[in-house]
Structure formats: structure tokens, C-alpha cells
Amino acid sequence: MRTIDIKSLPEICFAHVYRADSYFNILTDAKNFIEIIYVAEGTVNINDNGLTVYTANKGDVVCLFHTGTNLIFSHDTHCHHTVAAYTEWTYSEDDVTGLCLPIITPASSDTSKIRDMIDDIIHKYEIYKTITIKGAARFLDLLCEIDKCNRKNEHFDVPSTTVYIQRSKEYVQRNIHKPITQNAIAAHLGISPGYLCALFKKSEGTTLMKYINRTKLESMKAMMDIEKIRLREATPLFGYSDPNYVSRLFKQIFGYNITDQSYIYPEKIQTPENDK
């Protein structure tokens, strides 16, 4: 199963309703571009790089990624609602932690929420385009809803909560040298901070902030030992501002001082007993 990894916050670039007696459009390769459509009336055909022709019927949701050359056309009266955004993304082959966004998501009771979300973006386009963080969160929420709908397939039933946890950890690793907040991660995922914290605690048995601090401090400790730098030098390199706070936090989490080498390299510490 091919899934999609989102690598950056989406920036909504257009949203509209299109109605016509016939339609023909050539979609050329456009880097970092995702277009989400639902068919309100009639049918729409999608020719995927000249290989396969997909037909989207009324109520179906279409995900287009503008790779290669695609044709989208209709010979009859039809209407489709479209939103699109720029965001960095990559394909993942057989990776269940990515988002399941097939070209066609068939109409069902589950897709009604997706259609409502598309219409919400269209109606509030100017708001989402101006307040970019809200637009990013809403578009990510839309992608996650499509993923959730498709994961009900019995052959692809990994819970979507797994995706949120994995994405949270990836975000921490990518931004380990910057200040990281729960709100920033939640906005990146398109879910509420409270929901994210509850999911993380249930899945990992610890809070998200404890995970963030533990991950940062472990990396900081390793850098200090390898690079032989002092705490006050390492502190700002990991998004902290106060070395004293870092020292107290490290002792609280790990039970020993961040400058204490004996807990990391006990075999290298010489004692009178070792010298005998």
C-alpha cells in the first residue's frame, strides 16, 4: 500500500467550485502540490500518466498529487469542489504510518464529513489563506479525515492514532534543536493539543512534554560528552535558555547530574579498588 508522508505545513493556494457542460484539463508535474476534489454532480475521469483511467462519480473524493502528466476530463455536465495546497510530501511504499490518500475514495456515509470540510475551506478561503496556521491545520485535518475513511478497509486497518504518535516523534526529532511545544506539534498534525496529549499518554505511558524533554536531554548529554562542551554552551543548541533549569530537569528525569560522567561511562572511572 502506497501512503503519503507530509513533510511541511500546508499552505492553501486555491479553493473553488467549478461547474461546466464539459471539462478538459492537463495537470502537469507541480512539486509539493496536493489537490483534493469531490464530485458534486456528474462524473469526472482522471488519466494517471497515461496508464490508468479512474472514474469519479457523484460524492467521490479525489486526491491528486500532480506528478508527471495527468488528464482530468468530463464529457457531460458536472460540478466539482476543489481545494489545493503547497506542502512537501513523499511517497512511502508499504508504510502503514503514512497517510492513505488514494486517487479515488468512493462515496459513503463516511465521506460526507470530508465533503463538508472541503466546502468549509472554500467558504472560508480568505481566512485560511490569510491566517496560514489555521489553513495548515484545516488542510491537515482534511487529509487525516480521508486517511481515516480509507483505513476502514479491512486490508489497511492500522489505527490512525498510530500515525499521530509516529508523526509526533518525527516532529521532535526534526526540531530537536529548537523550542518545541505541544501546540506546535498539534498544529502540525491538524488536531487539538488536548487530543494529542491524551493519545500520547495512552499510547506511550508518559506525557508528550516528558517525551520531548527526555529526547532533547539525552541528545544534549551525548553532545556534551562527545564534543566536550559545557552545559551553558549546549543549552541554547537544544532550544533551552536557562542552563540551571536544564540541570534541574535532567536530575529530575534521570536521577543524576548532567555533568556526571560515571553514569554514562562507569567502566572508565578509576577507583582505588580498580587500581589494585
Q: Which residue, among 41, 61, 52, 76, has the nearest Cα to 146 in the 3D structure? A: 61
Residue at a domain's end among 157, 181, 204: 157
pLDDT for res 157? 44
Question: How confident is residue 49, by pLDDT bands cut at 50, 70 and 90?
Answer: low
Does residue 131 belong to any structural domain of this protein? yes
Question: How confident is residue 39, by pLDDT bands cut at 50, 70 and 90?
Answer: very high
Q: For residue range 151-183, what is the model confidence (pLDDT) as tens digits?
A: 876 445 444 567 788 888 888 988 999 999 999
Does residue 268 belong to any structural domain of this protein? no
Least confident of 124-133, 183-192, 202-211: 183-192
Does residue 30 belong to any structural domain of this protein? yes
Does residue 148 belong to any structural domain of this protein? yes
Which residue bears the cell 458536472? 78
One domain for residues 194 and 83:
no
Helix residue ranges per DSSP H, 155-204: 160-174, 182-189, 193-204
Domain count, the chain: 2
One domain for residues 147 and 174:
no
One domain for residues 188 and 232:
yes
One domain for residues 119 and 201:
no
One domain for residues 12 and 149:
yes
Does residue 265 belong to any structural domain of this protein? no
One domain for residues 99 and 189:
no
267 Cβ contact partners less than 8 Å away, ≥ 6 residues apart: none
Our CA angle for 31, 34, 50, nearest 5°, is 75
d(CA 61, CA 82): 10
Does residue 46 belong to any structural domain of this protein? yes
Assign residue 225 the CATH number of its domain.
1.10.10.60
One domain for residues 111 and 189:
no
CB 85 within 8 A of CB 32: no
One domain for residues 66 and 136:
yes
Whole-structure pTM value: 0.56
Q: Pairing between strand 33-41 and 78-86?
A: antiparallel
Across the chain, what does the average pLDDT equal? 84
One domain for residues 39 and 113:
yes
| pLDDT of 27 over the 50 cut | yes
DSSP annotation of 239: T
pLDDT for res 276? 35
pLDDT for res 273? 41
Residue ranges making up the domain that contains 55? 2-157
Assign residue 109 the CATH number of its domain.
2.60.120.10
One domain for residues 126 and 38:
yes
Q: Which residue, among 139, 99, 147, has the nearest Cα to 120 in the 3D structure? A: 139
Q: For residue range 64-119, what is the model confidence (pLDDT) as tens digits?
A: 987 767 788 888 888 999 999 999 988 775 556 688 888 899 998 889 999 999 99
Q: For residue range 193-214, what is the model confidence (pLDDT) as tens digits?
A: 888 898 899 888 999 999 999 9
Does residue 276 belong to any structural domain of this protein? no
| Sign of CA pseudo-dihedral 124, 90, 35, 14 | positive
Does residue 273 belong to any structural domain of this protein? no
From first CA to last CA, the distance across the chain in angstroms is: 62
One domain for residues 203 and 245:
yes
Q: For residue range 232-243, what is the model confidence (pLDDT) as tens digits?
A: 999 999 999 999
pLDDT for res 193? 86
pLDDT for res 66? 77
One domain for residues 43 and 58:
yes
Q: What are 251's three cell numbers?
A: 536530575
pLDDT for res 260? 78
Rounded mean pLDDT, 3-16: 92
Residue at a domain's end among 111, 139, 157: 157
Residue at a domain's end among 157, 191, 217: 157
pLDDT for res 263? 47
